[in-house]
Chains A and B, each alone.
Chain A
Amino acid sequence: MASGVTDTKVATSTEQGDALSRVLTVVVGKKEPIISLLVVLAIWQTLSFFLPKYFFPSITTIVASFAEVVTTPELIGDTVITISRIFLGLLLAFITGALVGILMGFSRLVEKYVLPVLHFIMGIPALSWVVFAIIWFSHVEMRIAFILLAGCLPNYALIIHDGIKGIPKEYYDMLRAMRPSRGQLFQKLILPGVLPSVLTSWKVNLGLATRVVIVAELVGATQGIGKKLLLAQELFRMSQAIAWTLILVVFLLLTQAILLLLEHRLLRWRPAKEGGMG
């Protein structure tokens, strides 16, 4: 009997939840993350009642700061600078990393020598690269480019190497029996074969690069979101710090969403892992 009672309770609460979730689904896609977010915001707001404002500014202050940050002309400048640093650095790391990954995939010799080096480099914390970069380079952009290259190249190379190794030999033989040119082999087998790995590598590295660039900007940059965060810290403006952080989070979520969308389109040949709309 007891279970029957709880069942009906659950039923009504989900019915109520349904209306809300339908609205939310229309706006953002899924209800669970929104609910989690609301809970966090509620906790934050509660804390802001009891703790000093400069530690936990109220939500309204944050929103005001965010609005301020978003409407200042600096926003565009600093955000664009940080994002371009991320993308240019990643592009550089991707091109070189893909090259290294492909070379390792096709030459045992290169693989034998380079693979252990890459694994070693992967063990170096990103922060160490920041320190090295400061010592080695005086130019800020050089430092940032170097840090991104050092932090992300091994990642790209390893994931793409894995992807190439993962293409079954059976496919090579099947295609080679037709006698394709090198270009055709690359275009028809290797490229589509490593595409899933390429997408994965971007997903991994975008997060990494965003974190690393901010740290790099904290030391020596005159512009960029990292610099703005530093300023907020020096002026003890918590709401500003949060506002700039939010911009970063939005950027990261947006790029991840774009990557997911790309993955959906490009990898639609893959069997669905889950049935239905879940």
Chain B
Amino acid sequence: MSGSAAVVAMTNVRRVYTSVDGDRFVAIEDLSLEVGEGEIVAIVGKTGCGKSTTFNLLLGLEAPTYGSIKVLGKDPYGDFDYFRSKFGVVFQTDRLLPWRTALQNATLGLEVLGYLESQQKEIARYWLEKLELGGFEEAYPHELSGGMRQRVAIARAFSMSPEILFADEAFGHLDQSTAKRLREVFLNLVAETKKTCLLITHNIHEAIEVGSRLIVLGKPSRVLYDVRTPVGVSRAQAADLEDRILTIIEANEVVQV
């Protein structure tokens, strides 16, 4: 996590939205954080605290109002094209293109990269297979269940072998057991491919179990609490931490570690 090795580095980032009437809304107040290579970071925070906005900034889809953002040492907004195929994103909703089959959705990133069609299909098939979607390659999104669609979205994210994975409440709207299974599948793939991964979740329990590190964001976004969450913490420890995090979120004040 030393400065040069940081995969993600945000320094005093501020994001203010100005409405048409000129009203200003601070979505991100003063956010500084660093993520090192191979880290799996779970991010929690109140709804509307600017988590998705943080992702949008990291993905270079919008620019910060103030502050600097470096991803892989470059500015994701300014050096936009450098990041071709660097990001694998699983959004809260699957965002599958409805006019494409599961296979065609999974090849999307590879098409952007200009792979040969035969290669695209081979790679996408491999990932669909891995996500237990063999036999559903030709199905259109509306013919698949919510869980299956989200798995196609995961296949799409992994198939172009990105350097960083982003998951924004990716399993939030699924039923508990499906969410649990998909989360495991996703994390196994992350571990297997040794990618750096940022994961937003509303489920604090999940956040503790999932990552190697947990960040609590305040509202508007700033880091309230940043803690390592090693694997194999006892149930009691996890329960303690969960309570503590709930209190922090409620208090909305920065905790010095």
Interface residue ranges of B57-108 to A (CB < 8 Å): 59-61, 80-81, 83-85, 87, 89, 91, 93, 95, 97-101, 108
Known: A170-B93, A179-B83, A179-B84. A188 touches B61 (CB 8 A): no
Total B residues in contact with A, Cβ cutoff 8 Å: 26
Q: Is B39 an interface residue (CB 8 A)?
A: no
- Kindly provide the distance from the CB of B24 to the nearest chain A CB, expressed in whole angstroms: 20
Q: Are B81 and A184 in contact (CB under 8 A)?
A: no
For A136-161 the 0/1 string (1 means CB < 8 A from B) is: 00000000000000000000000000
Known: A269-B99, A269-B100. A170 touches B91 (CB 8 A): yes
- Kindly provide the distance from the CB of A182 to the nearest chain B CB, expressed in whole angstroms: 11
Q: Are A173 and B83 in contact (CB under 8 A)?
A: no
Q: Are A179 and B93 in contact (CB under 8 A)?
A: no
Interface of B is mostly: loop
Docked Cα-Cα span, A174 to B94, in Å, equals 10
Interface residue ranges of A154-184 to B (CB < 8 Å): 170-171, 173-180, 184
Q: Is A271 an interface residue (CB 8 A)?
A: yes
Across-interface contacts of B83 in A (CB, < 8 A): 179
- Kindly provide the distance from the CB of B248 to the nearest chain A CB, expressed in whole angstroms: 30
Q: Are B99 and A178 in contact (CB under 8 A)?
A: no
Q: Is A270 an interface residue (CB 8 A)?
A: yes
Q: Are B61 and A177 in contact (CB under 8 A)?
A: yes
Across-interface contacts of A189 in B (CB, < 8 A): 97
The interface of chain A, by Cβ under 8 A from chain B, is: 170-171, 173-180, 184, 188-189, 192, 195, 267, 269-271
The interface of chain B, by Cβ under 8 A from chain A, is: 56, 59-61, 80-81, 83-85, 87, 89, 91, 93, 95, 97-101, 108-109, 111-112, 140, 142, 160
Task: For the A-B complex with A171-B97, A174-B95, A179-B112 known, give 5 more contacts whose Cβ atoms are closer than 8 Å.
Answer: A177-B61, A177-B89, A179-B83, A269-B98, A269-B142
